[in-house]
Structure 1
């Protein structure tokens, strides 16, 4: 049995369920979830011993140390590995390390050498777009580029960013993560009239404030109501802003994956008003958009980052310029008011997800990348 280390420093942030989903859908490789410590908020995503009858493994450095903070610090700063952790990993005989996010890959270089296996790194967005401390970032990126056998870009947009930052083109493979089209599927029930959903962390690049400001321009007679799913540092500010909107806005906080399916299925549209943050932080390609498409839920997104690689304007959703609240309001009104338009967008949305972003197909392609290392 071939095995791949799936590395994330914290296992596993709740906003990164796509890492677990991708690993669990590998057709024949067994994943070894590996990191420095547990992230208790999302660890339940990998706490079982098998998913759908398929085995996997968890090997976390902090489990093998009496002083986990010290040993993790030694690893990150001095490349000194915890010997017991390393021995346990060797017993599992992994063939590759697949690190998610460039910053995490930096911590895998010594591990890759110690295990004598190739390193594959996936760049998702902020790990290549943020432009703060650029000199130090460029030094670290160069180390990751040099040490990785191949680099995966989750969108064509991220591929362009990698090239701009000096990644050798021959190392880059553009590969979409994909969405579970069996789980995220159209509901047999009609969507709730006027229901709009937003799914994502409440941070600047997600642009949620512009969705709320757009709704301030839609009169109460339109009966629009917005459910905001997710949490983050901007929660309080967004709640205050929502008080000025003439429609009903509900902050649902963090929901389980199954609850998110229900919310997206029952909405007439999902809005993803992403922007370029003040730090340069941008999306790769938001998984929430792919989940909505898979449910047959039309998307109103922006011409930001890789979003246009999933949304065909006027065909399976709409695209607007970043921060264009008038256009966001107009597209929301069009979708919620026009049943025929909504039906057309819905059918095409589902077709896009199944043909271009199906997780089973994409995970099979990922295994081919693994085999080629």
Structure 2
């Protein structure tokens, strides 16, 4: 009998970015391409979203509910229960452990159901702040499999669980759709829109503008970079946390970088390839905020940039070293080290042959090991291994 797969995710494209939403889409699409029946349960907000999802090779069903963050468990319980009544022998794939939390209870009723949990990072490292470690332990301990998108996340889970669960917590990295993310020369409209002259050297960070992402470290590196390459522009793209944006804008003023920094806020999906393709270097030097449990689980944008042929610079923080292999598809630096950032940027910008080599390596690395097709195949192999 063919297994029915049910993916439950808080967010699912089209939505305003987010690695978890991209993970859910990548897995759902490739399970369907393998000829498997797939249903996605997710929230959506507009009729346009509903129309977009009607064209998927799988069905997307709406989970409705107000004050979702407060009542997530109860909404997930209701919607999972309703779905399992239709297909009692379903394999549930929860995009986060919180959405899988009702499954130990539901398995008492739907005894043929199984579930897999995806773990990304932040929802694990913030457990102590949320006071939900007991619920997390029960959810992961009863899962058929837990997929950690980085070795960092895998270790963080294992630190919080009994040893007997260790072999069911596997590392399986994020992927990227190489048909969707690819180099394009159609980016000149962005140069005009952002008042960037053709031939300008461009650094890009495309991520939520929050303290963890390390935008300030790149800004502090800019004076050294500009002394060597005075035509460089740093694009800060993505929706922002207003206090963080204000602090970054104040830092731009303090460092005299007004002519060399662009804030773009949210970037539409249709422009993603153009942003990556116009950039010389994609850079995101995240930091771990220990007290807040705020961490970088992987960094899917590094793969997206590589798929567009763009070299990357990341940091030795969280799961980034699984996305960026130092000296292969980019470079790694220590967090909060503007001098190291400046050194790596200058090194790359000053050696066009090296930039082309790193860009080529990144694209080949993605094609050989980080497509969603490959990630999904490994997931299915792992699932099969648990059912022998």
2:269 and 2:94 mapped to 1: Cα distance?
Answer: 23
2:303 and 2:68 mapped to 1: Cα distance?
Answer: 38
Trace 1:32-51 onto structure 2 (pairs within 5 A).
32-35=39-42, 37-39=43-45, 44=49, 47-51=52-56
Residue aligning to 1:103: 98
Residue aligning to 1:120: 116
Residue aligning to 2:361: 348
Alignment size in residue pairs: 360
Instruction: Give the unaligned 5+ runs of structure 1.
Output: 63-67
Residue aligning to 1:65: none
**2:314 alignment partner, SS class:** strand
Residue aligning to 1:310: 323
Q: Report the Cα offset of residue 147 of structure 1.
A: 2.4
Structure 1, residues 330-356: CA drift from partner, whole Å, max 9, x if none?
211222222111111111111111112
**1:38 alignment partner, SS class:** coil
- The 1:204–1:364 alpha-carbon spacing in structure 2 relative to 1, beyond 3 Å, is same
Counterpart among 204, 211, 225 of residue 197 in structure 1:
204
Residue aligning to 2:297: 284
Q: Is 1:217 the counterpart of 2:217 in the alignment?
A: no
Contact 1:177 1:363 (8 Å CA) reproduced: no
- The 1:8–1:217 alpha-carbon spacing in structure 2 relative to 1, beyond 3 Å, is same
Residue aligning to 2:192: none
2:146 and 2:170 mapped to 1: Cα distance?
Answer: 6
Q: Is 1:28 the counterpart of 2:35 in the alignment?
A: yes
2:223 and 2:74 mapped to 1: Cα distance?
Answer: 49
Q: Report the Cα offset of residue 146 of structure 1.
A: 2.1
- The 1:298–1:192 alpha-carbon spacing in structure 2 relative to 1, beyond 3 Å, is farther
Contact 1:275 1:302 (8 Å CA) reproduced: yes
1:236 and 1:330 mapped to 2: Cα distance?
Answer: 27
Residue aligning to 1:14: 16
Q: Report the Cα offset of residue 161 of structure 1.
A: 1.1
1:89 and 1:50 mapped to 2: Cα distance?
Answer: 24
Residue aligning to 1:147: 142
- The 1:98–1:245 alpha-carbon spacing in structure 2 relative to 1, beyond 3 Å, is farther
Instruction: Give the unaligned 5+ runs of structure 2.
Output: 188-197
Q: Report the Cα offset of residue 149 of structure 1.
A: 1.4
**2:293 alignment partner, SS class:** coil
Q: Report the Cα offset of residue 114 of structure 1.
A: 4.4
1:332 and 1:21 mapped to 2: Cα distance?
Answer: 31
TM-score by length of 2: 0.82
Q: Is 1:161 the counterpart of 2:156 in the alignment?
A: yes
Residue aligning to 1:57: 59
